[in-house]
Amino acid sequence: MDLRAEIARWPVGSAAVAVLGVDGVLDRAATGADGQVYPWASVTKILTALTVLDACADGTVELDSPAGPVGSTVRHLLGHASGLPFDGPEPAAAPGSRRIYSNTGYEVLADHLADAAGGPFRDELTGRVLDRLGMTGTVLDGSPARDGAGPLEDLVVLAWELLAPRVLGPEIVGPATTLVFPGLSGVLPGFGRQVHNDWGLGCEIRADKSPHWTSPDNSPRTFGHFGQSGSFVWVDPDARLACIGLCDTPFGPWAAQAWPELSTAVLRAFS
């Protein structure tokens, strides 16, 4: 496939895309400048989740310790099951009853870890994830739910770790990508209500969602995240492939059509 031709059809100013296998990059293309930094929007949540999970591994915080609304835990917040709304402090449901995608929940998570660690969350993210993975071009300037930014090269590093954990390891990556609170329904932003709105402790899980931003050919075990800035990362463990994209144009109907088409082409070319 001609990856550059695929993204050249997108109605955006500039974009960068890469395809990875377990041994590294299989193909990449960009229509912008080398090393261009793009906003990651909600793809930032993967970084935040990995930071919190690493802190759970060393005992700084605990998955089942109370955090957020009454009855909620760190685990609930990571899995968008705390009952907190998209934005705002007042719960919209009881913990564990619905999958409500929540920026506020991830901000509460970051504050919870910062309090336990005795320092800014940004320092925890840098030390636990960015520095260890060598993501030197990525910064968090604002909300830990949506305000990360970085170049394609750093998103490549993150996607490769998700596909084949080597540095953080499967004990950290595994919980981020494994279903929690099964059976919860909820709204997948941009794609409507899903009967099974499956999620791990950080990554969305494709399962049987329809419509969806990946391809119908992606396996149900596919996991990842997309952001309203026009960013995405998916990992298909059955195909042993990952695909990532960044651009300068917000998510919209164009992306809801273009991303599944790209994903289908990637699977057919590289599986």
Residue 233's pLDDT band (cuts 50, 70, 90): very high
Give residue-wise pLDDT tens across range 191-227. Answer: 999 999 999 999 999 999 999 999 999 999 999 999 9
What's the average model confidence in pLDDT over 69-73? 98
Instruction: Give the pLDDT confidence score for residue 210 in this predicted structure.
Output: 97
Residue 28: its H or E element: strand 24-30
- 205 and 179 Cβ atoms separated by less than 8 Å: yes
Question: Looking at residues 55-79, what average pLDDT do you find?
Answer: 98
pLDDT at residue number 252:
98
Lookup result for tokens 């993501």: 135
pLDDT digits (tens, 9 = 90+) for 143-152: 999 999 999 9
Q: Which pLDDT value is given to residue 241?
A: 98
Average pLDDT over residues 92-106: 98
For residue 132, name the pLDDT band (cuts at 50, 70, 90): very high
- The structural domains of the chain, ordered by start, are 3-270 (3.40.710.10)
Q: Read off the pLDDT band of 77 (50, 70, 90).
A: very high
- Contact at 8 Å (CB) between 246 and 259? no
Find tokens 């260890």 and name the residue: 132
Arithmetic mean of pLDDT, 242-252 = 98
Position 194 scores a pLDDT of: 97
Gap between the Cα atoms of 202 and 95, Å rounded: 17
Give the model's confidence band at 187: pLDDT under 50 very low, under 70 low, under 90 confident, else very high.
Answer: very high
- Per-chain mean pLDDT for the chain: 98
Q: If you average pLDDT over residues 234-249, what whole number do you get?
A: 98
How far is the CA of 141 from the CAs of 41, 44, 162, 163, in angstroms? 11, 11, 23, 27
